[in-house]
């Protein structure tokens, strides 16, 4: 019933806009295989030769692999902590009935009102006192503690589960902890996957927290490390291209493969800081 | 003996309150890193301190200083003005586009899956790379936009587009829009999918055209979603930082032209050359946290609206 519309202008504009996005990304990849001189002096010309040396240099000389490692540890560590903490909290609030339950659930919502930037001075001092400046684990702790959104979504899920499920497991003699991780957590896995997808974008691209706590070059995350090259393109344009490709293209490929699921997750979450 | 008994009692007590063990770990970490910092920052804003040496209580002096010292107040006002500008541009230009795109994709125009993925994709590009992509297009020397201008004979227009005075904030806006336009678009698509199909069919049979269905049926039904997106966009606009910092540096560009509140706060609290290095004011933490508290109040207004919406959603 919708397909009868023509919408030529809209389709044209959409096509142009999307082509621009695709063009910029292809242009980035294409230029990453050209030498510095070639890009700087012969920007739109036909390249004389292909060069892979920048790809080798960023790993062998610049140690970009350490930056990738930092980003990966922060992503996996923060996600694990976030899911572990928030599913337990949500389970505690959602399944059991107790006094002050409302107060506790509102307490966990408060984090939505406080963007992490506002508390960064005390956070910085805590991290410093823990000796975690220049450590990826400091970033993991900070990002893993922002559990407001996951708690909200998971609490709703657990609260809506049929009560009989918990009671049946209880009658079978399962302990509280066993019921949680053998029965309830697996049922929640579709939501957990959605949460992982929504949260990982924010963690992977987080710029502010690592900027404050990571100062040594070899523990910096990918976005911070790239800054060194993009900040001085006359000197480093080849390395800026290569690191940008490494930071961008694999993730985009993953996104296009799983785009249905990713988009569905975002649509269902609908909450972002 | 006594301690064993106490332990047994505690164990019994926990058995009767099993939820405590589930909530405790999250409660502790969340309290330390999400709630305590806000309380602590509020307290610090009443002290004169830079983290070294002694802090002494000064009451509201920091707030008075922020709003009466000409240098501080003008920087604050200028940064806040830029935050507001970004919010208004978002509201007037990005939000309508998001609804429009969502409607096109919701009505399954040809190739809608492809369009949807491409529009959403920049969400995954890290801010540093986003600015670099902007550089590849707009830079004076390597930018292809200038090459394009030369090609079509507009030599006199060639310039360093990233360095035009006063333009920086708009570059930040354009790049942020490119990254963010897909996010709320997906959110709107999700909301449109929830609308009952029959309404559309009835309107279609009544002869309502494609666009009149958007304006007269979809938009009124999306009221709550739109309010929610406006709130999210407000909070986002008030806490924006990455691209302003990357493009303008810690000073926010020439004459602070692309300064924003978080950048102003960062500059005062952490000095002009990185975290806790370089030139730190003698009251960096006192004044820094004061700015944070003022920002918190600015955001609180919107957060309360959002919280109310969420509680209502939870009740449904």
Rounded CA separation B134/B115 (Å): 21
| Chain A residues touching residue B118 (CB < 8 angstroms) | 18, 21-22
| Chain A residues touching residue B147 (CB < 8 angstroms) | 43-44
Q: Least CB-CB distance to A115: which of B235, B307, B314?
A: B235
Closest CA to B123 of B175, B173, B182, B171: B182
Across the interface, whether the CB atoms of B37 and A247 are under 8 A apart is answered: no
Rounded CA separation B122/B105 (Å): 18
N residues, chain A: 273
Question: What are the distances in angstroms from CA B228 to CA A238, A245, B46, B218, B238?
Answer: 42, 35, 34, 16, 15
Please report which confidence band the pLDDT of residue B137 belongs to, taking 50, 70 and 90 as the band edges. Answer: very high
| Chain B residues touching residue A121 (CB < 8 angstroms) | 37, 41, 44, 269, 285, 288-289, 292
Residues A149-162: pLDDT tens digits?
999 999 999 999 99
Residue B295 is encoded by which pair of tokens? 């920002």
Q: Least CB-CB distance to A98: which of B19, B26, B147?
A: B19
Across the interface, whether the CB atoms of B183 and A263 are under 8 A apart is answered: no
| Chain B residues touching residue A13 (CB < 8 angstroms) | none
Across the interface, whether the CB atoms of B19 and A2 are under 8 A apart is answered: no
Instruction: Count other C-beta atoms under 10 Å from residue B52's C-beta.
Output: 11
Contact B191, B199 (CB under 8 A): no
Residues B42-74: pLDDT tens digits?
999 999 988 777 788 999 999 999 999 998 999
Looking at the predicted structure, is the pLDDT value of residue B274 above 50?
A: no
| Chain B residues touching residue A18 (CB < 8 angstroms) | 114-115, 118-119
Q: Which helix (H) or strand (E) holds B57?
A: strand B56-57
Q: Which residue of A has its CA nearest to B118?
A: A18
Rounded CA separation A32/A39 (Å): 9
Confidence at residue A269, expressed as pLDDT on a 0 to 100 scale: 66
Closest CA to B52 of B291, B292, B293, B277: B277
Please report which confidence band the pLDDT of residue B227 belongs to, taking 50, 70 and 90 as the band edges. Answer: confident
Question: What are the distances in angstroms from CA B110 to CA A5, A81, B107, B113?
Answer: 10, 42, 9, 8
Across the interface, whether the CB atoms of B228 and A270 are under 8 A apart is answered: yes
First to last CA, chain A: 37
Across the interface, whether the CB atoms of A121 and B285 are under 8 A apart is answered: yes
Q: What is the mean pLDDT of each run of 10 residues along chain A (273 residues)?
A: 69 94 95 86 76 89 93 97 96 92 92 86 94 96 94 92 89 89 92 91 93 92 93 90 95 93 80 39
Looking at the predicted structure, is the pLDDT value of residue B23 above 90?
A: yes
Rounded CA separation B50/B53 (Å): 8
Quote the minimal CA–CA distance from A24 to chain B in Å.
7
Confidence at residue B234, expressed as pLDDT on a 0 to 100 scale: 92
Across the interface, whether the CB atoms of A230 and B128 are under 8 A apart is answered: yes
Looking at the predicted structure, is the pLDDT value of residue B125 above 90?
A: yes
Q: Which residue of A has its CA nearest to B316?
A: A156
Confidence at residue B282, expressed as pLDDT on a 0 to 100 scale: 80
Looking at the predicted structure, is the pLDDT value of residue B107 above 80?
A: yes
Instruction: Count other C-beta atoms under 10 Å from residue B95's C-beta.
Output: 18
Rounded CA separation B20/A101 (Å): 11
First to last CA, chain B: 53
Residues B178-208: pLDDT tens digits?
999 999 999 999 999 888 888 878 888 888 8
Which residues, at least 6 apart from A107, have a Cβ–Cβ distance to it below 8 Å?
Answer: B35
Query: In terms of C-beta density within 10 A (0-12 exposed, 13-18 middle, 19 or more buried), how is residue A161 classed?
Result: middle
Rounded CA separation A178/A102 (Å): 26
Bridge partner list, B57? B47
Q: Which of B99, B136, B276, B302 to mutate to test the interface with A (most CBs of A within 10 A)?
A: B136
Confidence at residue A271, expressed as pLDDT on a 0 to 100 scale: 45
Q: Which of B128, B163, B229, B293 to mutate to test the interface with A (most CBs of A within 10 A)?
A: B128
CB contacts < 8 A (A, B): 289
Confidence at residue A119, expressed as pLDDT on a 0 to 100 scale: 92
Rounded CA separation B214/A2 (Å): 12
Rounded CA separation A147/B120 (Å): 25
Taking all residues of chain B, what is their mean pLDDT, rounded to a whole number?
A: 88
Looking at the predicted structure, is the pLDDT value of residue B3 above 80?
A: no
Across the interface, whether the CB atoms of B307 and A259 are under 8 A apart is answered: no
Q: Which of B31-45, B63-77, B114-128, B202-216 has the lowest mean pLDDT?
A: B202-216
Q: What is the mean pLDDT of residues B138-144?
A: 86
Q: Give the percent of chain B with pLDDT over 70.
A: 94
Confidence at residue A1, expressed as pLDDT on a 0 to 100 scale: 47
Higher pLDDT, A100 or B309: A100
Looking at the predicted structure, is the pLDDT value of residue B224 above 70?
A: yes
N residues, chain B: 316
Residues A74-88: pLDDT tens digits?
999 999 999 999 999
Looking at the predicted structure, is the pLDDT value of residue B147 above 60?
A: yes
Give backbone dihedrals phi and psi of A185, rounded to 5 degrees, phi first. -60, -45
C-alpha B108 chain-centroid distance: 30
Instruction: Count other C-beta atoms under 10 Å from residue B279's C-beta.
Output: 8
Question: What are the distances in angstroms from CA B242 to CA A204, B246, B290?
Answer: 14, 6, 21
Q: Which DSSP state fits B69?
A: S
Question: What are the distances in angstroms from CA A240 to CA A54, A232, A236, A245, B194?
Answer: 9, 9, 6, 9, 43
Spell out the alpha helix ranges (H) of chain B: 2-16, 19-30, 36-44, 61-68, 70-89, 95-106, 112-120, 127-138, 144-151, 168-194, 197-205, 210-213, 219-221, 223-238, 242-248, 261-270, 284-315
| Chain A residues touching residue B133 (CB < 8 angstroms) | 24-25, 28, 244
Confidence at residue B289, expressed as pLDDT on a 0 to 100 scale: 94
Confidence at residue B316, expressed as pLDDT on a 0 to 100 scale: 55
C-alpha A63 chain-centroid distance: 23
Query: In terms of C-beta density within 10 A (0-12 exposed, 13-18 middle, 19 or more buried), how is residue A61 classed?
Result: exposed
| Chain B residues touching residue A110 (CB < 8 angstroms) | 34-35
C-alpha B283 chain-centroid distance: 27
Q: Which of A63-77, B108-122, B292-306 has the lowest mean pLDDT?
A: B292-306
Rounded CA separation B117/B111 (Å): 10
| Chain B residues touching residue A88 (CB < 8 angstroms) | 22-23, 25-26
Confidence at residue B2, expressed as pLDDT on a 0 to 100 scale: 63
Question: What are the distances in angstroms from CA B273 to CA A119, A161, B266?
Answer: 20, 52, 10
Confidence at residue B275, expressed as pLDDT on a 0 to 100 scale: 46
Please report which confidence band the pLDDT of residue B255 belongs to, taking 50, 70 and 90 as the band edges. Answer: confident
Across the interface, whether the CB atoms of B142 and A215 are under 8 A apart is answered: no
Report ipTM (2 d.p.): 0.90
| Chain A residues touching residue B178 (CB < 8 angstroms) | 21
Q: Which DSSP state fits A220?
A: -
Looking at the predicted structure, is the pLDDT value of residue B315 above 80?
A: no
Confidence (pTM): 0.90
Bridge partner list, B48? B56
Q: Which of A113, A176, A185, A214 to mutate to test the interface with B (most CBs of B within 10 A)?
A: A113
């Amino acid at each position: 019933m919708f397909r009868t519309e023509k919408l030529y202008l809209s389709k044209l504009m959409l096509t142009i806009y999307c082509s621009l996005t695709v063009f910029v990304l292809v242009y980035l990849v294409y230029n990453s295989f050209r030498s510095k001189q070639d890009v700087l002096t012969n920007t739109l010309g036909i390249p004389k030769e292909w060069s892979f040396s920048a790809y080798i240099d960023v790993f062998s000389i610049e140690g970009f692999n350490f930056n990738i490692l930092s980003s990966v540890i922060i992503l996996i560590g923060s996600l694990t902590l976030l899911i572990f903490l928030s599913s337990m909290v949500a389970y505690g609030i959602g399944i059991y009935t107790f006094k002050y339950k409302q107060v506790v659930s509102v307490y966990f919502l408060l984090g939505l009102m406080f963007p992490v930037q506002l508390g960064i001075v005390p956070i910085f001092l805590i991290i410093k006192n823990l000796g975690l400046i220049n450590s990826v684990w400091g970033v993991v702790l900070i990002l893993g503690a922002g559990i407001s959104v996951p708690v909200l979504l998971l609490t709703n899920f657990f609260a809506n589960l049929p009560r009989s499920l918990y009671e049946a497991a209880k009658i079978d003699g399962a302990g509280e902890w066993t019921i949680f991780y053998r029965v309830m957590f697996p049922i929640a896995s579709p939501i957990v996957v959605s949460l992982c997808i929504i949260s990982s974008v924010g963690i992977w691209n987080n710029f502010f927290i690592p900027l404050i706590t990571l100062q040594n070059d070899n523990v910096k995350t990918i976005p911070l490390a790239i800054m060194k090259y993009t900040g001085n393109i006359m000197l480093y344009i080849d390395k800026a291209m290569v690191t940008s490709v490494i930071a961008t293209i694999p993730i985009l490929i993953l996104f296009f493969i799983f785009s249905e699921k990713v988009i569905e997750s975002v649509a269902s979450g609908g909450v972002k800081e | 003996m006594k301690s064993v008994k106490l332990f047994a009692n505690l164990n019994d007590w926990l058995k009767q309150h099993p939820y405590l063990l589930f909530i405790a770990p999250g409660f502790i970490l969340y309290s330390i890193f999400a709630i305590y910092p806000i309380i602590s920052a509020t307290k610090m804003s009443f002290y004169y301190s830079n983290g070294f040496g002694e802090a002494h209580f000064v009451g509201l002096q920091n707030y008075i200083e922020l709003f009466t010292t000409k240098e501080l107040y003008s920087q604050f006002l200028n940064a806040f003005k830029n935050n507001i500008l970004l919010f208004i541009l978002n509201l007037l230009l990005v939000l309508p586009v998001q609804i429009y795109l969502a409607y096109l994709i919701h009505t399954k125009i040809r190739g809608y899956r492809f369009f949807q993925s491409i529009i959403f994709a920049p969400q995954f590009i890290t801010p540093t790379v986003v600015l670099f992509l902007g550089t590849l297009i707009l830079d004076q020397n390597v930018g292809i936009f200038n090459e394009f201008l030369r090609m079509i004979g507009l030599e006199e227009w060639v310039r360093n587009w990233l360095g035009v005075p006063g333009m920086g904030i708009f570059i930040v806006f354009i790049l942020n829009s490119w990254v963010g336009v897909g996010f709320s678009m997906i959110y709107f698509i999700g909301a449109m999918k929830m609308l009952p199909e029959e309404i559309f069919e009835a309107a279609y049979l009544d002869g309502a055209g494609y666009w009149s269905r958007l304006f007269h049926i979809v938009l009124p039904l999306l009221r709550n979603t739109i309010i929610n997106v406006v709130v999210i966009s407000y909070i986002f606009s008030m806490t924006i930082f990455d691209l302003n910092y990357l493009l303008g540096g810690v000073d926010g560009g020439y004459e602070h032209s692309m300064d924003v509140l978080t950048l102003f706060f960062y500059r005062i609290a952490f000095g002009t050359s990185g975290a806790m290095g370089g030139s730190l004011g003698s009251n960096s933490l006192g004044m820094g946290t004061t700015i944070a508290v003022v920002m918190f109040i600015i955001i609180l207004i919107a957060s309360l609206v959002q919280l109310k919406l969420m509680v209502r959603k939870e009740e449904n």
